Every structure is written in structure tokens, then in C-alpha cells.
Amino acid sequence: MKISALRVAATLALTLTQPAVAADNDYPRRPVTIVVPSSPAGSTDIVARLLGEQLTKGLGQPVIVENRPGASGNIGTEYVARAPADGYTLLLQYSGYHVGNPALFKDIRWKPADFAPVALVMRAPHVIAVSGKLPVNSLAELIAYAKKDNRGLFYASSGNGSIQHIAGEMFGSAAGVPMTHVPYKGAGPVVADLISGQVDMFITTPPSVISQVRAGKLKALAYAGSMRNPSMPEVPTTAQAGLAGYEVESWFAVFAPAKTPRPVIDKLADQLRKIVASDGYRKQMDEQGAFAAFMGPDELGQFVDQELATWARVIRDSNVTTQ
């Protein structure tokens, strides 16, 4: 009787675990949502829609992009952190929110540990963009303009504590220029006001502004990376423009709620790896002024830990607050 009971228990346990395994293998069986914690038309939104289109083909189910902006990315990020860990709600996250917000917000209602890393999909050193109405055509002219009569610059960001906010304060310190911060709820509204001349400057990832630069409505004065961007070869680096040592980079990655089954994570990561390696995606990133880059779940997890420490130090040293 004892042996029979053990056999029954073992058979029952195996039977109970089979549906979960089958569910992971059959993923996805319904539409998947990618949440973007910022407004439409910004870099995160642009990348999410490119990925969503390709993931729809690779996964065989619709992949829907849903914008949930507000509170410097915390609303959308918290939404995904609280979502079921089943792979049907994902986060396309911007590095400024993921590794900056934990150091900036005391009352934040999510933490990096609430997420399972899936894949890094893009890196983008920032570009210094100004209104086409501003009477400057180079970084040196911008700095001289700002210093004249202590005029200063009104610079925009996608929210208090964002990397654009930090980048603006770092620029003011490096260039010796008075800066006034004007926060917005996402990059889309910033670009509209930058074009109209309501604000002077926006230091952001190229996808947010490159189409308007090419249309002549904005001016790209310098690229805050170590080398020129092939999509904007005429734009000098900050070092070449006379502001050596000033570099700012963002990255974008896909995350799932913590405890999402590893087979689901791996399936998503494999699909994203194929997308990032494709000529089509790389061409699209080039056109947006960004770089296609890939890290899998484990490498991304280690990278996030390093970035959390780095940006905590940068934020502390820059004295940026969310007020």
C-alpha cells in the first residue's frame, strides 16, 4: 500500500505540473501588450512600435503597444510590476526611468527587483537639439548666447528626474551656463514646444528629434557620444564642438514582471535577438540615429545592477531632485 500511495502521489504531481509546462511551450496563446511608460512619439514609443510589429510576426499573436505616461514613468512602470507574471504584459523601458527613478523618488511604488530582464534592444547617446528659431548654429554659439547678459537657457525634459533633466544640469555645469528646467510629460510635447520656440534646448535620444532636424525645424548642435553618429555625420561630437568630457547615453530594454516563467523569458529574448540582428531593424535604428544592440536576460540583469550604482552616484553628484 505504501508503494502504491507513492506511485499515485508521483503520478498526480506529474499530472499537475504538465499544464504549466505546456502553457509555457504554447506561449503566446493570445495578444501580448507592450507598455510604454511615456507619451506617444518619444523614443521609447518609437522603438516599442518597431518591436511590436516584428514580434507580431515572430510570435504569431498580435503585440499591442499601450502608452501609460505620467509621474516620470512611474505610472506605467508600476502597472507592469503589478501585472500577472505570465508574459502577456511587458515593459519597454527607458534607462532613465529604470535606473534613475529608484535614486530620485523616495515614495516610489516599484523597484527593479519587481522585473525580470528580457533583452536590451537599443543604445542611444544623446543629441543636443535646439529650436530652429534660436539664433545659433553651433555649440560654441549656443554657449556664448546663453552667457551674454547672463541670459541662460530654458531646457526641456520628459519629466523631473529624467536623464534629460540630469543631462541639462550636467550641461550647465560643464559649460558654465545658467539653466532653467522645464519638465514635460514625455518627449512628444517637448518637441512641439521646442519647434515653436517655447523652450530653447532638449538633450535627448535622436529618435525623438531626428525627423524634425532633417525637416529643418530643429537644429542638432552636438552629439553627446564618443564618436559621430552615421545617421547625422555632419553633427560633431561634444568633444569636437569644444565641450570635452560631456557624454550622455540612454538604453532601452524589455522587461517582464518578476517570476515570469523562464521558458517564456527565453522565447521572448530569442525573438528579440533575431529582430535586433536583422538588417531591417538595424537600418531603422540607423535612420532614427540610434544603435541596434542586444543583451540577453542574464547579461542585462548584471548590466542593470551596474547602471543602478552608476546613476545613483551621478544623481547624487548633480543634486537633481524631483521637485
The per-residue pLDDT for 5 is 47
Ranges of H-type helices in 34-100: 43-59, 74-81, 95
- The CATH topology of domain 127-241 is D-Maltodextrin-Binding Protein; domain 2 (3.40.190)
Contact 226, 237 (CB under 8 A): yes
CA distance 229 to 110: 35
Regarding beta strands 249-257 and 115-125, do their DSSP bridges make them parallel or antiparallel, or are they unpaired? antiparallel
pLDDT tens-digit profile of 273-282?
A: 999 999 999 9
Angle of helix 43-59 versus helix 262-277 axis, rounded to 10: 110
In the chain, domain spans = 32-123+251-318, 127-241
CATH of 32-123+251-318, one of 2.30.30.60, 3.40.190.150, 1.10.3720.10, 2.130.10.10: 3.40.190.150
pLDDT tens-digit profile of 216-232?
A: 999 999 999 888 988 88
Query: Are both 32-123+251-318 and 127-241 of the same fold?
Result: yes
Q: How confident is the model at residue 67 (pLDDT cuts 50, 70, 90)?
A: very high
The per-residue pLDDT for 39 is 87
Say how many Å lie between the first and final Cα of the chain, rounded.
Answer: 70
Q: Tell me, what DSSP letter sits at residue 226?
A: S
pLDDT over 90, % of the chain = 70
Residue 6: pLDDT over 60: no
Contact 251, 293 (CB under 8 A): yes
Regarding beta strands 153-157 and 179-183, do their DSSP bridges make them parallel or antiparallel, or are they unpaired? parallel
pLDDT tens-digit profile of 243-274?
A: 999 999 999 999 999 999 999 999 999 999 99
CA distance 74 to 166: 17
Tell me the whole-structure pTM to 2 decimals.
0.79
